[in-house]
Structure 1
Amino acid sequence: MTEEYATDQRPRRRRGRGLLIAVVVLLLLLLGGLLVVDRYGASYAEGVIGDKVAEQVAARKASSDTPEVDIKGVPFLTQVARGEYQEIQIQLPNFTGPTGTGDKIHMDLLDIRARDVKAPLDALRSGQGTVVAGTLTGTGTLDYPQLVELIGQKGLKLAEKDGKLVGSAQVAALGQQFDVSGTAKLTVVDGGIRVRFADVKAANLPDLPVIQNLVQSYVDKLSLDLPAPELPLQLKVRTLTPEPDGLKVTFGANDVNLNAGGL
């Protein structure tokens, strides 16, 4: 009797185990399908936003490599249902843009973060309507050789020291070459960049009025007033920070429509 009971139960266990495996496999297939749909939807929306940003770059008579867009947060479809997105990263490699003086600035990468983004599904699907970012922040770096070229004084060298922008050069006086150096004051004026040098010192230079006037005349030529650059997405210069590889510029804007190609 015992052997007959054991024989009757074995097939039931196998059938139960087989059903469980089938359910697990089905769930995995469904989950995989949802992930594929989620990533496809995100990729499509990123492409729409990238195209609109490229239009804005062109409208500013600027240029960059193809914009790279990354919608943060998983799952994407949950954000679509709400019409709200935590963060969208937009990178513009090899960005070059004009300024009000006809000069151009170049940044190897303009890295933009859009936060508190509100976008109805139809706007992402059709490319029409509004995709509004509550806040935009961007960062880029102006290398020091470029900054020297904008100032327009040959022989000037710029570098970061103790968190400050320091300039040095040689000045001809009394038939000799003297080394002068000073610290720059950086300010943002009407969305543009202002550079003024102060505390300029000259090594081994006689303290004579004619010599000091010569040094001051050279210092005055080191000033720079760079008007607000023509940037996409209404970005304006907010802060300036000297770093070892160049002048780090932080940009910002509020309530910007990412979907407005001609903005």
Structure 2
Amino acid sequence: MDHEYTDERRPRRRGRKVLIGFAVLLLVLAGLLAIADRVAASVAERTIADEVRKQVVQQGAQSSPPEVEVGGFPFLTQVLDGRYERISIRLRDVRGSVQGDAVALPSLDVDARNVRASLDTLRSGRGEVVAETVNGTGTISYQSLAALLDREGLTLGERDGKLAVTAPVDILGQRLTVTGTADIVIGEQGQISLRFDNLDAEGLPTAPLARTLLNNFARSISVAVPLPELPFQLTVREVLPKPEGLTVTADARDVPINSAG
């Protein structure tokens, strides 16, 4: 009886070993495919980064080498389809080719969605890589804005969601501290302007001339902010004061994100 029981168990054990071996094989294959997928994505990221660098120069801007990440998994199916869910691009130290007084963006994060790029374009570098939508976010430091206004002792920051200013000013022989907030105006072409219409100073003399001088100071620091030419045809849509600086949001549609060969 014991011998018969042992014979019945052996086929089951062999079958279980076969299943385990098959499962292990599938896991190994899946791992190899995942590695191949990531390797292919890395190659594409380097290719796109190089093309983006050329496009940035072509549009009259400068930046550190682009950092590119291709989103979506698996990557290889996106290659075959010629359409990518998302390509994230980070540009650091974005400046105009002509420096002048242009305010630099320490970083510009670009999110390109529904990107069309054929396999031949990626392989040859010829043709366009086109994004259906592109959104960009960058931050202008308050220090760089204050340097633009060029007033000794002037500081900028965020207060209750507004751009706030503090500055020492001489009015009728008195050294006063001026405080107030600015309105941020975005023009039709995405230009940014600061308007300091709401300033006051504790101890301001009641003489009408004192108020006139304060208003003159407000006008002198109400300026256009010379941003560098943004790449990818980005147009500024929103500017919000945040604790770390002015956050600039820009967007564009149907944009080539490479320089077509």
**Fold shared per TM-score above 0.5:** yes
Q: Which residue of 2 aligns with 1:160?
A: 158
Aligned to 2:90: 91
SS in 2 for 1:5: helix
Alpha-carbon separation, structure 2, partners of 1:228 and 1:185: 17
Residue 255 (structure 1) shift? 0.7
CA distance in 1, matches of 2:144, 2:226: 15
Paired residues of 2:103 and 2:227 also in contact (CA < 8 A): no
CA distance 1:259–1:175, shift in 2 (3 Å) = closer
SS at match of 2:95: strand
In the superposition, the TM-score normalised over structure 1's length comes to 0.91
Deviation at 1:100, TM superposition (A): 7.9
**What is the TM-score when the length of structure 2 is the normalising length?**
0.91
Q: Greater CA deviation, 96-105 or 139-148?
A: 96-105
1:11 to partner: Cα distance: 3.4
Distance 1:154 1:96 in 2: 26
| Alignment-derived partner of residue 242 in structure 2 | 243
The alignment status of 1:45 with 2:44, answered yes or no, reads yes
Q: CA deviation at 1:12?
A: 2.2
Residues 130/99 of structure 1: CA separation in 2 closer, same or farther (3 Å cut): closer
Query: Does structure 1 conserve the Cα–Cα contact (< 8 Å) formed by 2:61 and 2:228?
Result: no
One-letter code aligned to 1:182 = G
Q: Tell me how far 1:222 sits from its aligned partner.
A: 0.5
Alignment of 1:48-87 (within 5 A): 48-87=47-86
- Inter-partner Cα distance in structure 1 for 2:147 and 2:255: 33
Structure 2 vs 1, CA of residues 99 and 225 (structure 1 numbering), >3 Å: closer, same or farther? farther
Structure-2 separation of matches of 1:100 and 1:3? 92
- Cα distance, 1:228 vs. partner? 5.1
Q: Secondary structure of 1:29's match?
A: helix
**In percent, how many aligned pairs have the same letter?**
45
CA deviation map 1:74-124 (0-9, x unaligned):
11122223222221110112x231288832322222111001212222222
- Whichever residue aligns with residue 46 of structure 2, its letter is G
Task: Name the CA distance, whole Å, in 2 between partners of 1:45 and 1:210.
Answer: 65
* Aligned residue identity for 2:77: T
Q: Retained in 2: the 8 A contact 1:127–1:259?
A: no
Question: Structure 2 vs 1, CA of residues 114 and 152 (structure 1 numbering), >3 Å: closer, same or farther?
Answer: same
**2:156 counterpart of 1:149:** no
CA contact (8 A) 1:178 1:204 kept: yes
For 2:107, which of 94, 106, 109 is the aligned residue? 109
Contact 1:186 1:195 in 2 (8 A): yes
| Local SS of the residue matching 2:10 | helix
In the alignment, the residues of structure 2 paired with residue 102 and residue 192 of structure 1 have an alpha-carbon distance, to the nearest angstrom, of 17
2:232 equivalent in structure 1:
233
Gaps of 5+ in 2: none
Q: Which residues of structure 1 form unaligned runs of 5+?
A: none
1:34 maps to 33
Note if contact 2:58-2:259 (Cα within 8 Å) is conserved in structure 1: no
1:35-62 Cα distance to aligned partner (Å, 9 max, x none) = 1111111111111111111112233443
Give the letter for the 1:143 counterpart: S
The CA deviation at 1:129 is 1.4
C-alpha separation in 2, matches of 1:227 and 1:243 = 19
Give the match's secondary structure for 1:154.
coil
Residue 122 of structure 2 aligns to which amino acid in structure 1?
L
The CA deviation at 1:185 is 0.7
Q: Which runs of 4+ in 1 moved over 4 A?
A: none
Give the equivalent residue in structure 1 for 2:192: 193
Corresponding position of 1:119: 117
